Chains A and B, each alone.
Chain A
Amino acid sequence: DGGITQSPKYLFRKEGQNVTLSCEQNLNHDAMYWYRQDPGQGLRLIYYSQIVNDFQKGDIAEGYSVSREKKESFPLTVTSAQKNPTAFYLCASSPRVSFGTEAFFGQGTRLTVV
């Protein structure tokens, strides 16, 4: 089955620790995205990547980092510099060439700082 897999589903972090959220897709999509979802604020873009070894900051990139070493993988690291990391994180992918295609989403990771 083709799709996007995010892991883990739930993640707990102690204050001051970095954590990495995994996102893997087997859809052969060029573009991948990370969104943060908080109540009442919709989906806010953290980082996105249109092609391997290249990525751009979204609207709320501070305190986060990403890498895109492989086409199928786009991990997100939440660093200790992120002041309020507790949120629901969604990863998505889409073909780059055709603007008409929708984004496909993973099932999300719920991150809680304890």
Chain B
Amino acid sequence: AQTVTQSQPEMSVQEAETVTLSCTYDTSESDYYLFWYKQPPSRQMILVIRQEAYKQQNATENRFSVNFQKAAKSFSLKISDSQLGDAAMYFCAYRSDKYIFGTGTRLKVLA
């Protein structure tokens, strides 16, 4: 069975600095997709970024980028130039026939 692990329950970053959130997963499949979701205090789930496993190039969306290491089954999220609005829970997710989520990392942004 596939599993997703986020080992950092909470992280803090100074405004305008860079922070990296970690995610590892376990699967025997070769073709799959990975996602990072943001859940602000409103609790609405918002897609941050997606990565296709067969693509070597790391995905990037503005200030958000990933470091995808397929052999190591690692999928970390880097947030550059952190803003107060980035404060939220961040969930890593894996998709096969369903979505499997990690336990989340709470990100605090310090002014």
A residues with a Cβ closer than 8 A to B are: 33, 35, 40-45, 48, 50, 58, 88, 90, 92, 94, 99-100, 102-103, 105, 107-108
Assuming the A-B contacts A90-B45, A100-B50, are A33 and B98 also in contact, with contact meaning beta carbons closer than 8 angstroms in the complex? yes
Assuming the A-B contacts A48-B98, A50-B97, are A42 and B44 also in contact, with contact meaning beta carbons closer than 8 angstroms in the complex? no
Q: CA–CA, A18 to B56, complex, Å?
A: 49
Contact A102 B35 (CB under 8 A): yes
Residues of B close to A107: CB separation below 8 A: 42-44
Chain A binder among B67-75, B79-87, B99-107 = B99-107
Q: Smallest CB–CB gap between A23 and chain B, Å?
A: 14
Contact A92 B103 (CB under 8 A): no
Contact A100 B33 (CB under 8 A): yes
28 A–B contact pairs at CB < 8 A?
A33-B98, A35-B101, A41-B103, A42-B91, A42-B102, A42-B104, A43-B91, A43-B101, A44-B101, A45-B98, A45-B99, A45-B100, A48-B98, A88-B43, A90-B45, A94-B99, A99-B31, A99-B32, A99-B95, A100-B52, A102-B50, A103-B45, A103-B95, A103-B99, A105-B44, A107-B42, A107-B43, A108-B44
Interface size class on chain B is 20 to 34
Q: CA–CA, A35 to B103, complex, Å?
A: 13
Q: CA–CA, A40 to B95, complex, Å?
A: 21
Q: CA–CA, A74 to B60, complex, Å?
A: 34
Contact B104 A99 (CB under 8 A): no
Q: Smallest CB–CB gap between B33 and chain A, Å?
A: 5
User: Is residue B47 within 8 Å, beta carbon to beta carbon, of the partner chain?
Assistant: yes
